[in-house]
Structure 1
Amino acid sequence: PPARVEGAEGRDPVKMGPGGPMEEESACPGVCIPQLLNHQTRNLMTTPWESPEGMAMTDDDRIAEALHNLDKKIAVVGVTDELPAFAAILGEVFPWMAPELRDGGRDGRVCDLPHANASPENNRCGADGGHWDLPDHPDDETAEAIMRHNALDLRLYEEAKRRFGYQKRALGMK
């Protein structure tokens, strides 16, 4: 079968979390708890979070699998903290994704790489499913809850940042 080329973008779970105290159950109807708890780790796993064979996976098993897949199955790693550098790396590794076409792009066309992963205008967490304006940074209680519920994602994020640094150095970027 043809090889699949995939990229992964790591996010700091605290920076992407909500601004108020995080409850054990979501206060937002329609939001699945798995979307809030170790979401990036779950995305990088190929084994179901809860093993269907009745063999419970440990957190060490889960993070080991996610880190293995990050290393062996992901071609390019980016972090949202350095989105412009990630866009530049994508253009180097995958020239068809470069902001400006080179070597054959003599027609002067410029291809935008938009950041389409912005927060929605209506997060549906407010009254009657409306928007709830969240602060830019969570309060201490919320940050602690996010870290506690996303310990695997924090470990994964540190590895993603390390690998991102390797990619930048390999491409001569600072």
Structure 2
Amino acid sequence: MQGNRKAQIKLYDLYADAMYCIACRYISNREDAKDVMQEAFLKAFIRLQQYKGEVAFGAWLKRIIINQCMDTLKKRSLLYEEMNDEILTIIEDDASWEIKVEVTKQEILQAIENLPIKYKYVVKLYLIEGYDHQEISEILSIPVRTSRTQLMRGKTKLKNNLNDFLKHKIS
């Protein structure tokens, strides 16, 4: 399919909308997100022979899109803190995500957008994209321990922000 323009156009048409939505989760400016998506599709078409069918094509392409977003953000001086051994207890049970009052999906997404950058992308990759810490570590070029720590801290900050928001919403 590499070099076959008609097949590439069909793939683009099939996946462009979904991949644009993913790019928009990381790149706030819609035009920039579109540019990032275009660059990622070009990379995918160039690397098409590397696709081995071990995962669904959409999942393979999604990984390229997210990596392109992260590369773009890094170029914009996105820095991640290197975490030391100060936090050794990591709680990853699903119950720790619970909050006491009902909140909409849109409110949660907005609260994630308001997280500090060093937490926002780890939380997005974990919660929204479904990546595990090893995958997040590879995508963001950070140690697995940093991914775990930033997720824990991001989760705590997210819960606090949502609880504060809900207190204001109720009163």
Q: TM-score, normalised by structure 1?
A: 0.25
Q: Which has the higher contact order (CA 8 A, sep 6+)?
A: 1
More helix by share: 2
